[in-house]
Structure 1
Amino acid sequence: MDIEDVSSWPAMQREAEGQDARKTWLAPSPAAPHDEWWLWKPSLPTKGSAERRLTHIAEYATAQLARIMGLPVAECRLATRDGEIGILSHNFCPPPFSLTHGAALLPQRKHQRLRDIEEALTAVAAPVSCPGLSAFDVFAGYLVLDAWVANTDRHERNWAVLEDLDGAHVLAPTFDHGSALGSGLTDARRESRSIPDFCSGGKATRYEDAGSLLDLAQSALERCDSLPWAERVASTRREEWQAILDSSEGLSQVARTFIDNVLATNQERVSELCRP
């Protein structure tokens, strides 16, 4: 796909969330309404190396995979700004909506608990793209997605609820997947890592009694009626995600092979959730 150069886009507002001060809200023009704003997130160096993290690839690829699953997800585009590669994430909370992170909805604990999240979402509607489902049903889908893409960063500020002027609440689309797919590894580390060990080592450390990401997804699904999320992961053809990776410019062959194998291995692991 074409990578858009947004160097000429004006900066509308600094992003207060997160640790990277360079995250900035951009828009095509100074007069653009809020629903045309995009959050610019540049790729950062890996720890101890000049090699760039693949946070932009992880975010872009995970958004496409979420769409394949039928999950609501923040729209993402690969972009460059002043010579830097990064990702644009579309503003899914323009006025008059307001956003409340999960942290404000849960009891103050060191780790999140599924039962607290389920209770917090009781009076929250599912996104309109998921008719017939509850907000927690959809949140369970987010956790299945995390298990597939090895996203260990679903903390209480990486999910949210939207509120309109009438006080109605709806679960926000899934967002901020830059930590998925081993994005922080160098190519040398990707070549040396065992794929099965990497996949089984994905822990749900943001949750109480943290087991694996797969264990967390299974626990969430067990709290719901029959849901399609694991089946949709299982039925995704390898060619579909390979096409996504092929469209991600700047991805080394080492990284492409690593991500491809992680998705294939975790697909098989998630498929276990479909079996009696």
Structure 2
Amino acid sequence: MVGAGAFARIDASDWPVVATEAVGADEKLWVSGLGTRWLFKPVTTTATGHRQGEDWSEKAAAHLAEHLAVPCAAVELAVRGGVEGSLSRDLGPAGFEVQSGALFLDALKAPGFVPARDLAADAARRKCRPGHSLANIRTALDGVLAPPGSSLPASFDAYDTFAGYVILDAWIGNRDRHDENWSVLVPELGNGPVHLCGSYDQAGGLGFNLRDERRCEMLRLAAGHDVAAFAERGTAWRFENGPDKPMRTLVELAVDALELASGAARTYWCEAIARLGSVDGATVFERIDSMSDLARSFAGALLGINGRRLRDECERRF
């Protein structure tokens, strides 16, 4: 049931296309409207006719990020030419180039790093995400500043902020933080500091691609087949793994990130995680008309479970 103040779905049918987005499996369009650029991403409808929920999951993620003060792109629900989707606001300020993590790590010759797109012909190595590790990201971001306008503590550098991105991923169950789903802002003229870009492309969480029948089953089934079991299967498969580097869960990776962060950032994020239990995701979900009641119930349960898992892992390690 949709509550009062439902989020509007913007009709961007007449917004001019200014560029296409090459990153990702599906075509996305940069369009111009409301005085800026936005990335329009259509929802996916599978071959069996199942409409996935990338639009509502990304909208919800942007609002949930506010509870962690994670800087991220503004997101609007949208429709373009009769196709529903989302609009994600451009995070590139004037005078800066948005450079993906893949390009940034490659340019800095991060040890063992190979961009995932360069491994298209080697599926086995591609799955292992060579060199896309927290250690390499931490080293690469040394000297890089936090995103412009960030409301996080002034002492936070880029990596302290990036740790918040993977905490958000673990909370919402987003497994898609690959090497082109985070970026830095590089001055176009080569003068001035490099900044981390705000977080973006967070549509991969909250069980966005499940059918309501499956959500219903997990909400009523016992341990091993329930929402908790689904949460525990949330692995950080977009980060380096392999025979000698077992794949981490999203929760384990998030707390790994805190171990590499500054002491002040570790304290801040642990305190933020401790407060997640008081966040009522329903206040966001009730405003999204494209979410079914089962999608809202499932997403709320997932947030509660992952919040507890993050808190327990922090308490275990720190």
**Residue 200 (structure 1) aligns with:** 232
Counterpart of 2:291 (choices 237, 248, 251) is: 251
Residue 153 of structure 1 aligns to a residue whose secondary structure is coil
Once the two structures are superposed, the pairs formed by residues 89-104 of structure 1 within 5 Å of their partners are 89-104=88-103
1:27 has 2:32 as partner: yes
Q: 1:145 to 1:230 in 2, by over 3 A?
A: farther
**Pairwise CA distance, 1:227:** 3.5
- Superposed CA deviations along residues 5-47 of structure 1, whole A, max 9, x for unmatched, are 11222222222222212x1111128xx5xxx01110011114x
> Counterpart amino acid of 1:83?
G
**Count of aligned pairs between the two proteins:** 269
Q: Distance in 2 between matches of 1:212 and 1:236?
A: 19
Residue 240 of structure 1 aligns to a residue whose secondary structure is coil
1:40 has 2:40 as partner: yes
Residue 84 of structure 2 aligns to a residue whose secondary structure is strand
Q: Is the 8 A contact 2:277 2:307 kept in 1?
A: no
Q: Is the 8 A contact 2:173 2:234 kept in 1?
A: yes
Q: Distance in 1 between matches of 2:135 and 2:178?
A: 15
Counterpart of 2:206 (choices 181, 198, 204) is: 181
Residue 147 of structure 1 aligns to a residue whose secondary structure is helix
Q: Is the 8 A contact 1:238 1:264 kept in 2?
A: no
1:13 has 2:15 as partner: no
Q: After TM superposition, which residue ranges in structure 1, 4 or more long, deviate above 6 angstroms?
A: none
Q: Is the 8 A contact 2:59 2:86 kept in 1?
A: yes
Q: Is the 8 A contact 1:144 1:230 kept in 2?
A: no
**Residue 138 (structure 2) aligns with:** 118
Identity over the aligned pairs, expressed in percent? 35
**Residue 127 (structure 1) aligns with:** 147
**Residue 138 (structure 1) aligns with:** 161
**Pairwise CA distance, 1:101:** 0.9
Q: 1:230 to 1:249 in 2, by over 3 A?
A: farther
> Counterpart amino acid of 1:125?
L
- Superposed CA deviations along residues 192-232 of structure 1, whole A, max 9, x for unmatched, are 33101110110111222321111111111011213322432
Q: Is the 8 A contact 2:175 2:205 kept in 1?
A: yes
Q: Which moved more, 1:169-178 or 1:187-196?
A: 187-196
Once the two structures are superposed, the pairs formed by residues 209-224 of structure 1 within 5 Å of their partners are 209=245, 210-224=247-261
**Pairwise CA distance, 1:254:** 1.2
Counterpart of 1:264 (choices 272, 290, 304) is: 304
Q: Is the 8 A contact 2:252 2:313 kept in 1?
A: no
> Counterpart amino acid of 2:56?
I
**Pairwise CA distance, 1:180:** 1.1
**Residue 64 (structure 1) aligns with:** 63
**Pairwise CA distance, 1:243:** 0.8
- Superposed CA deviations along residues 71-120 of structure 1, whole A, max 9, x for unmatched, are 11011111112222211000111432101111123232433111111000
> Counterpart amino acid of 1:202?
G
Residue 268 of structure 1 aligns to a residue whose secondary structure is helix
**Residue 86 (structure 1) aligns with:** 85
State the structure with more CA Rg: 2
Q: C-alpha root-mean-square deviation of aligned residues, in Å?
A: 1.8
> Counterpart amino acid of 1:69?
L
> Counterpart amino acid of 1:189?
R
Residue 280 of structure 2 aligns to a residue whose secondary structure is helix
Q: Which moved more, 1:79-88 or 1:197-206?
A: 79-88
Structure 2 portions without partners, runs of 5+: 1-6, 115-128, 219-225
Q: 1:99 to 1:28 in 2, by over 3 A?
A: closer
> Counterpart amino acid of 1:54?
G
Q: Is the 8 A contact 2:177 2:238 kept in 1?
A: yes
TM-score, normalised via structure 2 length: 0.80
Q: Which moved more, 1:235-244 or 1:9-18?
A: 235-244
Q: Distance in 2 between matches of 1:227 and 1:173?
A: 21
Q: Is the 8 A contact 1:204 1:212 kept in 2?
A: yes
TM-score, normalised via structure 1 length: 0.91
